[in-house]
Structures are given as C-alpha cells and as structure tokens.
Amino acid sequence: MWRRIPLVRRLPVREAVERVEQADLVERIDVALHGLCQPLTVLQCRLAMGELIGEPEAMREAIREALLECARLNKTVGSMRTMLQDCMRDRDDERAG
C-alpha cells in the first residue's frame, strides 16, 4: 500500500562545485565565441567590398582593415585559450589538493 517516493539525489559538494565551474566556463566561452562573430563579419564585409569595388586602392584598404580584424581575432582567441588553461589548471589543482 505504501509507495516509496524516490529521494532527490544529493550531489557531493565537490561534484556540485565542479558543475558550477563547468557552467561558468561554458558561459564564458559562449560569450567569447559570440565576440568572435563581429570581427569575422567585419572581415568578410571589408574583403567583399574591396573585391566589389575592384580598384587597387580599395583592395589595399580592404586588406589593411582585414589585417586589423585578424589581429583582433587572434587576441580574442588568445584570451579564450588563456581562460581555458586557467580553468583546467584550477581543476587539476583541486583534484590534487
């Protein structure tokens, strides 16, 4: 007659902390990836405009501006790499500690 109601599974503290950290990392990566979209779009548009106009000066300007966007992309990717390495190091330190 009595039905056993399953209890909610309780996470160990360490596992709960790891899940929060993973969620934080995923959110930070999502924001960083979103930040990559704008310079990629600018890069594509600049090069397309240089090609469309077809004049040497327009092409040089498009290439110059595209190179600036490439530098911006490299900086963002470098920040993402550093963020990921920091998170991985923190996780390894917690596991070792």
Query: Is 9 a domain residue?
Result: no
Is residue 2 assigned to a domain?
Answer: no
Q: Is 6 a member of any domain?
A: no
pLDDT at 47 over 70: yes
Provide the domain limits for residue 78.
Answer: 17-96
Neighbour tally for 61: CB within 10 Å: 15
Residues 6+ apart with CB under 8 A from 69: 39, 40, 42, 43, 46
Query: pTM of this prediction?
Result: 0.59
Over the stretch 49-88, which tens digit does the pLDDT of each residue have? 888 888 999 889 989 988 998 998 888 888 888 888 887 7
Q: Considering the domain boundaries, does residue 11 fall inside one?
A: no
Query: CATH code at 39?
Result: 1.20.58
The crossing angle, in degrees rounded to 10, of helices 13-53 and 56-96 is 170
Q: How many structural domains are present in the chain? A: 1
Encoded tokens for 94: 């917690």
Written as six digits, the tokens of 90 are: 């923190």
